[in-house]
Amino acid sequence: MQANPDAQARLRARGVRSAVVCVGDECVSVVDLKGVARLIGVDYKDRVMLSPAELSKKLIMVIDACCRYVQQVSTEQLNHSQADRPNRTFRSLGIHAIQMGAAFLDSLDTGRVDLRGRKLPENAAEGWTGRDIAAFGAEIRREVEEWWERSGSTLAMDQPIENDWGVQTVHQSMERQTWHAAQHVRQLIMFLDQLGVAPDRRLSAEDLSGLPLPDNVWI
């Protein structure tokens, strides 16, 4: 939708603020795979998700990778973006990837996922250096570790959590936020390649196995 202003305008006229599949007047969020299957009339079988313990390790791994990558480029290179997505800069994607971990942790207290994540300084999206982003990432990584050790492993993962596309369990939300962060880190890897910088410990397919990531880096 970011690359198609006309499509954005049509969806916003219908009150839609996120990616959806529409048939007639009914729209379903693209992350609600069961709802999409019902809407288009195909059978759907739920996947087997990684365990919460595995997801916590994946989330920490993804945040660590993000912290490494944002420090591999200059402050000027943090403004690098795709021509058709000028607002999705290296800097903003790095911050957003880490924000997904923060959003999951905060939802455990609020009962709702806020994809904007933590409130950050006004200059973050335009002025943070790689070191600034990495410091934020280290903070969220520590919070994830402490949460898991303190209460995550005993939390009832079938509790409901609200979000922009409906209600999910804590387990489903944890998976969603983990793969969301991982997808943005894949985009950082692509940017490093475009800039001619070899990613420090490039995440592999095996590293990301078990997460429901799309084939394409941009969707």
DSSP annotation string for 88-143: --HHHHHHHHHHHHHHHHHHHHHSB--TT-S---TTHHHH--HHHHHHHHHHHHHH
Rounded Cα–Cα distance for residues 143 and 102 (Å):
8
What pTM did the predictor assign?
A: 0.84
**Domains of the chain in sequence order:** 5-40 (no CATH), 52-194 (1.20.120.450)
Along the 219 residues of the chain, how does pLDDT read in single tens digits? Answer: 556 677 667 666 655 556 677 887 777 776 677 778 888 888 877 778 999 999 999 999 999 999 999 999 999 999 999 988 888 999 999 999 999 999 999 999 999 988 777 788 877 878 899 999 999 999 999 999 999 999 998 999 999 998 876 788 999 999 999 999 999 999 999 999 999 999 999 999 999 999 999 999 987
